[in-house]
Homo-oligomer: A and B are copies of this chain.
Amino acid sequence: MAQEALFRAQQIISPEVHDDSSVTFRLFAPNAESVQITGDFLPTVKMETPMGQMDGPGKADLVKDENGVWVYKSGVLKPELYNYSFIIDGFTTTDPNNPFLIRDVASATNIFIIGGGHADLFEVQDVAHGTVARRWYDSPGLGMDRRITIYTPPGYENSNEKFPVLYLLHGAGGDEEAWINLGRTSQIMDNLIAAGKAKPMIIAMPNGNVIQDAAPGEGSTGFYKPQFMVPKTMDGTYEANFMDIIKFVESNYRVIPDKAHRAIAGLSMGGYHTMHISRYYPNTFDYVGLFSAAIMPREDATGKVYSNIDETLQTQMDNGYKLYWIGIGKTDFLYDANKEFREKLDGMGMKYDYVETEGGHTWRNWRVYLSQVAPLLFK
């Protein structure tokens, strides 16, 4: 009987995406009293968070069949990369039949893709693929070797061409694995480049937590539990030492080492880093992207990097640039902070492109922002 149950459990397919883009989820848990599913394909609900009230994923009940398999069938879903978890008798956990797990800060969730439309960018298509390398670079400023993720475009290894570079920064609680895993960066870029929509470029995805050398399990701290707020992430240390990263990239890859061929973009805390790095080195980047940026320094950010914000922004403006892109969702808890920042730029006469989307502070938006910004770079 135990063997039979095990066998039955192993045969379970979950999630099963149907031809009409509805999805069936299944979980073998004969002893459970209740099983729910929560995920961003369900209507959002309001939830309390440390950053105030935010939209959170909804919940739905699964129903147990005669074999002890709990089942939920969704409605027809729009093209998107979705995430979900199961809640078994109040305990939130992953789907044991879906091997695809992505870690966001300290939690792993399952994902699935409904193809079509913009979601086709997130899937591996039959196109030429770039290479993704995890390398280590020396940061003299931080006094340690640090891990970095580098995307090189298709054909990089077999050409002599020099390429532009996008520095792509993660948010609070993230690390050098965030953009490549949660952001589907390599899939998005392979597909945009193959379609002729984005120029071939190198993408450098560093770790923005200056007290760490690498993601959990990949660095000297071993299997630590990531925290949302990491000490020293927004005190100027990262910005002041960012040239270590640029120097590494420009001395280790075939790049065009000038302003016209450097872009920097980041989400949330990475948007904060992007804003401050790009004005602190005000003649370094022709392309700047702020994705749901945690925009202005906190009052306790008293480092040298923040001592002359207005002056360096003015210098950045005077030096000129090709693109200063700001994107945010209408329900993002940082919406007002970004509005204030835009008003500041308006007051200075500093030009920017502004995109306001539905939704909030989510990877769903950040993947789309990358897809929208990459085609604007290096043109």
Contacts and interface: CB of A to CB of B under 8 A. Distances in A.
Interface string A83-113: 0000011111110111111010011100111
21 contacts: A3-B48, A13-B225, A29-B90, A31-B91, A32-B89, A32-B91, A94-B94, A99-B108, A99-B225, A101-B108, A111-B223, A124-B214, A124-B220, A128-B136, A129-B145, A129-B147, A131-B133, A131-B134, A131-B135, A132-B134, A133-B133
Contacts of A93: 88, 91, 93-94, 96
Interface string A352-369: 000000000000000000
Given A131-B135, A157-B252, A252-B158, A223 B107 contact: no
A217 interface: yes
Contacts of A19: none
Contact of A124 (B30, B91, B96, B218): B218
A223 B99 contact: yes
Contact of A101 (B103, B125, B132, B136): B103
Given A96-B92, A106-B99, A222-B123, A132 B133 contact: yes
- Taking residues whose C-beta sits less than 8 angstroms from the other chain, chain A's interface range is 35 or more
**Copies assembled:** 2
A223 B135 contact: no
Nearest to A9: B92
A216 B31 contact: no
A209 to B, nearest CB: 14
Given A100-B223, A225-B98, A252-B157, A108 B108 contact: yes
A300 interface: no
A212 to B, nearest CB: 12
Interface in A287-333: none
Given A100-B223, A129-B147, 16 more contacts: A3-B48, A29-B89, A93-B96, A94-B108, A96-B107, A98-B225, A99-B103, A99-B106, A99-B107, A108-B108, A111-B217, A123-B222, A124-B214, A129-B136, A131-B134, A131-B136
A97 B93 CA distance: 11
Contacts of A220: 124-126
Contacts of A92: 96
A226 B96 CA distance: 12
A219 interface: yes
Contact of A222 (B32, B113, B132, B145): B113
Contacts of A131: 133-136
| Most B C-beta atoms less than 10 A away, residue of A112, A129, A131 | A129
Contacts of A48: 3
